[in-house]
Amino acid sequence: MKSIYRAQDVERFDRWGSTYERSWMQQRLFDPVHSAVLQQAESRFKPTSVLDIGCGSGRLLRKAHDYWPEAHLSGVDPAQGMLEVARQLTPEAHFSTGSGEALPLEDVSVDLALSTISFHHWQNQAAGLREVARVLRPGGSFLLADFTFPAWLAWLLPRSRFHSAAQMRALFEQAGLDVQAQPATVARFVRLTIGTKPADD
């Protein structure tokens, strides 16, 4: 059942690729979240490599290029329709087909990983976070922004792919990422979790 749902999800984003950049959601939702995430990242990190997981049309990476013009930028997404647009609009980045649960990157190869409004699409979120931890260099960080539930609602929906702040913290810690902060990004329904892979002793 999960594989059927995933295929339908990817197919929907494939079809959306040609009009995604013109969606009303860009200015109302994605752009404010992107700005909040990048501002948090800029105040904390000076990455040489940046990965966007669930990169869509590359919009976040184009903005990341303005913040870190010398950084190596890469994006991963399962939808070919999105990647075709991303490659056209974002020549400064490298794009690969893949998912959060199976990142086509080498171990310890990324300084800063980002994911915005994508995590709830990941079929196996715990496995995906372990993959992020695998590709992060020691001391590298993952900034994940996604819809969040209040604790009481998350408790009522234990199998949901939406989480409370406490549940997200637990998922990060189970993957070996130390949670540094969990600021709200826009309104009350999107929260950012900042996790860091412990540095080698």
**Domain spans of the chain, in order of start:** 2-196
Pairing of strands 93-97, 110-116: unpaired
**pTM for the whole thing?**
0.89
**What is the predicted pLDDT for the residue at 76?**
98
CA distances in angstroms from 189 to 15, 41, 75, 117, 131, listed in the order given: 27, 20, 25, 11, 26
d(CA 165, CA 167): 6
CATH number of 2-196: 3.40.50.150
d(CA 78, CA 104): 11
For tokens 């792919």, the residue is 161
Which residue, among 37, 176, 47, has the nearest Cα to 111 in the 3D structure?
47
From first to last of its 201 residues, the chain has per-residue pLDDT tens of 456 546 676 777 666 657 778 887 788 888 999 999 999 999 999 999 999 999 999 999 999 999 999 999 999 999 999 999 999 999 999 999 999 999 999 999 999 999 999 999 999 999 999 999 999 999 999 999 998 876 555 555 555 678 888 889 999 999 999 999 999 877 668 999 999 999 874
Which two structure tokens, joined as six digits, stand for 170? 């637990």
Helix (H) or strand (E) holding 52: strand 49-53
